[in-house]
Amino acid sequence: MRLLVVADSLAFHGPDGPLPADHPDLWPNRAAAALGGHAELAAGFGWTARDGWWSLTGDPRVWSLLPRTDVLVLAVGGMDTLPSPLPTYLRQGLRYLRPDRVRRWARRAYRAAQPHLARATRGRPVALPPHLTVRYLDDSVRAVRHLRPGVAVVAFVPPVHRSALYGGVHTGHAAAVRAITAWAGRAGVALVDLPAVVGDHVLSGRGNPDGVHWGWEGHELVAAAVADTVRSVAVERTTGEAP
């Protein structure tokens, strides 16, 4: 079984920092191993559902994987819910500032201001509004199903965080959960409920010190949940009934 995982940094960031995509303890590889298969990862820091859509439609390496993909895991949508006091195009544009000292100063200044701005604006705007998250998830599913009508699709309920970088604010979470849950029901997409699976791991402080990413316990929990969900989808497709 081959999994194509389109994800944000939660898929490749461990307890101490980012890791190569083939690290065996990352949840995509743990999930694939539990299923007796292999995972391919297309991911990036801060990726939203829009970035996932861009990857599926704009990366020729991803195109080459689709004919051999049995399960598409859309592990994006969580970063969409985070406070984004600056518009995305300005925030991401900081990397292009020159000279280097100006870029480094701008990044430090924004990181210092972001928690205060997130609290002052009550977490709004978010990185991507729920209706756009759903639009890009749905576009991704439709595009892949057009090419691979039999492919199974799994998506994620957005995770929670306790990050000081965002001032501990996550007011955009509930609306995104409602929108993604409703969309998944309409689209026939199975969901992994990340708050239920890994919420305690994050909120208790057992994850990465940044309050967003997971420790190995979290990766293990998510891998098991993804594998169980994929098995359930396979049973449903075989029997025509929910397991």
Q: Give the pLDDT score at 150.
A: 85
Element (H, E) at 55: helix 49-58
pLDDT by residue for the chain (243 residues), tens only, comes to 999 999 999 999 999 999 999 999 999 999 999 999 999 999 999 999 999 999 999 999 999 999 999 999 999 999 999 999 988 889 899 999 999 999 999 999 999 999 999 999 999 999 999 999 999 999 999 999 999 998 999 999 999 999 999 999 999 999 999 999 999 999 999 999 999 999 999 999 999 999 999 999 999 999 999 999 999 997 766 555 554
Residue 29: Cβ-neighbour burial (10 angstroms; 0-12, 13-18, 19+): buried
Give the burial string for 88-121 (b: 16+ CB within 10 Å, else e).
Answer: eeebeebeeeeeeeeeeeeeeeeeeebbebbeee
Tokens representing 52?
């996932």
Which neighbouring-strand residues pair with 4? 40, 72
Contact (CB, 8 A) for 11 and 26: yes
Q: Give the pLDDT score at 87.
A: 87
**pLDDT tens readout for residues 91-130:** 899 999 999 999 999 999 999 999 999 999 999 999 999 9
Task: Return the percent helix, strand and coil in the chain, to nearest 5.
Answer: 55, 15, 35
Where do the domains of the chain lie? 2-83+127-239, 85-120
Q: Give the pLDDT score at 88.
A: 86
Give the integer Cα–Cα distance in Å for 110 and 113. 5
> Judging by DSSP bridges, how do beta strands 190-193 and 152-157 pair with one another?
parallel
Contact (CB, 8 A) for 166 and 125: no
Architecture of domain 2-83+127-239 in CATH? 3-Layer(aba) Sandwich (3.40)
Give the integer Cα–Cα distance in Å for 223 and 28. 6
